[in-house]
């Protein structure tokens, strides 16, 4: 825990307007620590974040990425202070502050917004799809190369290298009890590598993508309910647009929670799939035939990758994701696997929906 005085001291390193009245913890992200900084009177409020520099080894490069893409979006939208994040630099001009070996960053708090942990209505899923479709469209002509903030983030070939090394090392001594779960991963290895080969060969192109499109990383305009912008831009880099779609489907269509201990709650809602796909394709009009052909599969790909990542972290002794209880990563693994099975069972209908919308 970081105490209040320390947080105030860190916030004061940034070019913040007004007098700070309070700093309090916000959000339940698995990676960073997020705080809201309230100021007195009419001065804006801010988001202060301790960036996880184990997960993101080069925070300055990450902040350069975020600054570059948000400036690009600002140059194209009607309301640049609401339709994307605004990075607030430190008083020394850097986009971050390093304090006791930790990296901190600040952006403007966007007022009158709503954010959600789950999608309860097709309208919300539709709006979420619009949000990511628009995000990708706004960045389609972004040409500056971006830093790769996490190596091979959605590259399953790279993930298998980590996976094989983790299984071999067996750091927490858990491998023996996980033969069933490990089998889930191994039985789909070739099919997932076959998909990623298409990206490696350039059959499926790469673009600027968000890479972490779960519903809590989108802000909605509170008065209208319409989508406002994509936030949590730490993972913005070059990848396939399909990963953004797939990760969002993993999040929006789940009838249960990502870590639901009751597997009966978990399945993929085809209605939510249709709504998200409709919103996404209404804004993202430039997918090539190969991207459209593999769009539905991307949901299976990213959900599979998530099963692998949760299980790998469990095998590794819970070093990557924040956990709330001892076998949390195993519970997450099982719930995401149930979701994957539900997608596999409904795959023909998912493809049919994409065909009907494209
Ligand atoms: P984490 O890495 O912890 O997931 P996020 O950047 O996603 O951090 O922020 C956590 C939550 O804080 C979001 O889901 C959203 O509700 C809120 N939030 C983040 N940034 C802003 C912002 N600029 N304006 C308003 N709310 C925000
Ligand atoms: C993490 O940071 P957060 O909570 O938005 C993770 C995502 C996972 C997600 C699972 C940088 O997202 O890749 O899909 O948890 N982010 C990183 O909920 O690893
Ligand atoms: Mg987040």
pLDDT in tens, 276-287: 999 999 999 999
Ligand closest to the CA atom of residue 30: 2
> What does the alpha-carbon distance between residue 153 and residue 347 come to, in Å, rounded to a whole number?
25
Over residues 229-236, the mean pLDDT reads 98
Which ligand neighbours the alpha carbon of 233 most closely? Answer: 1
Average pLDDT for 301-319: 98
Query: Residue 147 gets which letter from DSSP?
Result: P
Average pLDDT of the residues in 299-311:
98
Mean pLDDT computed over 158-170: 98
Is the CB of residue 27 below 6 angstroms from any atom belonging to ligand 1? yes
Tell me the HSE value of 242 on the side-chain side, using a 13 A CA sphere: 29
- The Å distance, Cα 29 to ligand 2 centre, comes to 7
Each residue's pLDDT tens digit, 66-95: 999 999 999 999 999 999 999 999 999 999
Q: What is the mean pLDDT of the chain?
A: 97
Report the pLDDT value the prediction gives residue 327, as an integer from 0 to 100. Answer: 97
Among protein residues, the one whose CA lies closest to atom 1 of ligand 1:
29
pLDDT of residue 29: 82
pLDDT at 53: 92
pLDDT reported for residue 74: 98
Q: Does 218 sit in the ligand 1 pocket, CB within 6 Å?
A: no
Where does the pLDDT of residue 1 fall: very low under 50, low under 70, confident under 90, or very high at 90 and above? confident
Distance CA(30)–CA(50), nearest Å, equals 12
pTM of the model: 0.97
| pLDDT interval class at 173 (50, 70, 90) | very high
Strand-strand pairing, 87-88 and 102-108: antiparallel
* Residue 23 backbone dihedrals phi, psi, to 5 degrees: -130, 125
Q: Please determine, for residue 215, whether its predicted confidence score (pLDDT) is greater than 90.
A: yes
Q: How far is the CA of 303 from the centre of ligand 2 (A)?
A: 12
Q: What is the mean pLDDT of residues 332-338?
A: 98
Per-residue model confidence (pLDDT) at position 28: 73
* Distance of alpha carbon 41 from alpha carbon 39, whole angstroms: 7
Model confidence at 171: pLDDT above 80:
yes
181 lines ligand 1 (CB under 6 A): no
Count the alpha carbons within 13 Å of 312 in the hemisphere toward its beta carbon. 19
Residues contacting residue 175 through CB under 8 Å, at least 6 positions apart = 167, 182, 315
Mean pLDDT, to the nearest integer, of 240-255?
A: 98
Residue 313 has pLDDT above 80, yes or no: yes
> Do 74 and 80 contact (CB within 8 A), yes or no?
yes
79-137 pLDDT per residue, tens: 999 999 999 999 999 999 999 999 999 999 999 999 999 999 999 999 999 999 999 99
pLDDT over 80 (residue 288): yes
User: Looking at the predicted structure, is the pLDDT value of residue 63 above 80?
Assistant: yes
């Amino acid at each position: 825990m970081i105490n209040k005085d320390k947080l105030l001291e860190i916030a004061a390193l940034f070019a913040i307007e007004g007098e700070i009245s309070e700093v309090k913890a916000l959000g339940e992200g698995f990676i960073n620590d997020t705080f809201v900084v309230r100021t007195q009177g009419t001065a804006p409020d801010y988001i202060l974040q301790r960036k996880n520099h184990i997960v993101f080894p080069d925070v300055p490069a990450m902040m350069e990425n975020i600054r570059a893409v948000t400036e690009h979006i600002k140059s194209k939208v009607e309301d640049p202070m609401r339709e994307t994040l605004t990075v607030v630099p430190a008083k020394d001009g850097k986009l971050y502050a390093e304090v006791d070996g930790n990296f901190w960053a600040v952006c403007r708090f966007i007022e009158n917004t709503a954010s959600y942990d789950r999608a309860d209505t097709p309208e919300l899923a539709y709006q979420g799809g619009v949000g990511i479709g628009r995000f990708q469209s706004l960045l389609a002509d972004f040409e500056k190369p971006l830093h790769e903030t996490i190596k091979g983030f959605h590259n399953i070939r790279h993930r298998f290298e980590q996976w094989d090394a983790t299984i071999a090392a067996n750091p927490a001594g858990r491998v023996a009890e996980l033969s069933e779960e490990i089998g889930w991963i191994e039985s789909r290895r070739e099919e997932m590598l076959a998909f990623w080969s298409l990206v490696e060969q350039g059959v499926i192109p790469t673009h600027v993508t968000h890479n972490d499109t779960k519903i809590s990383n989108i802000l909605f305009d509170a008065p209208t309910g319409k989508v406002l912008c994509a936030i949590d831009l730490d993972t913005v880099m070059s990848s396939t647009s399909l990963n953004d779609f797939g990760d969002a489907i993993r999040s929006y269509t789940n009838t249960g929670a990502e870590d639901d201990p009751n597997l009966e709650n978990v399945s993929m809602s085809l209605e939510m799939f249709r709504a998200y796909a409709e919103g996404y394709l209404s804004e993202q009009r430039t997918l090539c035939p190969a991207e459209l052909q593999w769009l539905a599969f991307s949901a299976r790909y990213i959900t599979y990758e998530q099963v692998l990542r949760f299980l790998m972290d469990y095998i590794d002794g819970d070093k990557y994701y924040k956990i709330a209880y001892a076998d949390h990563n195993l519970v997450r693994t099982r719930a995401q696997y149930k979701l994957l099975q539900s997608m596999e069972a409904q795959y023909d209908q998912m493809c049919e929906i994409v065909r009907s919308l494209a």
